[in-house]
Structure 1
Amino acid sequence: MAAPIPQAYIDELLSRLDIVEVISARMPLKKQGREFAACCPFHSENTPSFTVSPSKQFYHCFGCGAHGSAIGFLMSFEHLGFVEAVTELAESI
């Protein structure tokens, strides 16, 4: 079994990523003030309730409650495990 990924590595990876770039490469986002919005990819909706905050590097859906970092988004959106999501993001920078 592989050793767990050190928290310092995860923190460094997240600090070097832009969550807006990670998400907008997979779905369209529309700028709304200081944040970005879209219809949530995790539930069916007609009115955008999914927001991405560049300043907080965090996403949140006010409709279904989905939220998290770039790693969590990739895990949910692409159905990846934690290690696979971290690896894919690390290879993208």
Structure 2
Amino acid sequence: MIEEKFIQELLERVDIVDVVSRHIQLEAGEVNFTAPCPFHTETTSSFAVSRERQFYHCFGCEAHGSAIGFLMQYSNLSFTEAVEELARSVGMAVEHDGTDSA
């Protein structure tokens, strides 16, 4: 299992705008970045990404979460896979607490 302390440190190091913009094109707004939601079919920009809050939210389908949640949903990754991918992107080695998560 991955320690909560490691997850918090990882989320402090990554920028959700950078993570999301590797997968979809974001437009800068006054406060948030926006785009059509990648999780449902639409033509409006109901998907918002907040750099300040490090959070995404779709006002259409209600998808929301952190950079980890985005990778899990967008790339169909497990929690551990998403954490490992984010950690690699910022040069961190994933730390496990020694217990089995199964």
Normalising by structure 2, we get a TM-score of 0.87
Q: Which residue of 1 aligns with 2:70?
A: 73
Q: Distance in 2 between matches of 1:8 and 1:52?
A: 24
Give the total of aligned pairs. Answer: 90
Does residue 83 of structure 1 match 2:49? Answer: no
- Give the Cα–Cα distance (whole angstroms) in 1 for the partners of residues 54 and 3 of structure 2: 20
1:26 & 1:66 partners in 2: Cα distance? Answer: 16
Q: CA deviation at 1:34?
A: 1.5
Aligned to 1:46: 43
> Which 5+ residue runs of structure 2 have no aligned equivalent?
91-102
CA distance in 2, matches of 1:10, 1:89: 10
> Considering only aligned residues, what root-mean-square deviation do their CA atoms show, in Å?
0.4
Is structure 2 residue 31 aligned with structure 1 residue 34? Answer: yes
Q: Percent identity?
A: 57
With CA pairs under 8 Å and 6+ residues apart, which has the higher RCO, 1 or 2? Answer: 2
Q: TM-score, normalised by structure 1?
A: 0.96
The equivalent of 1:12 in structure 2 is 9
Structure 1 Cα separation of the partners of residues 87 and 4 of structure 2: 14
Secondary structure of the residue aligned to 2:56 is: strand
1:62 paired residue number? 59
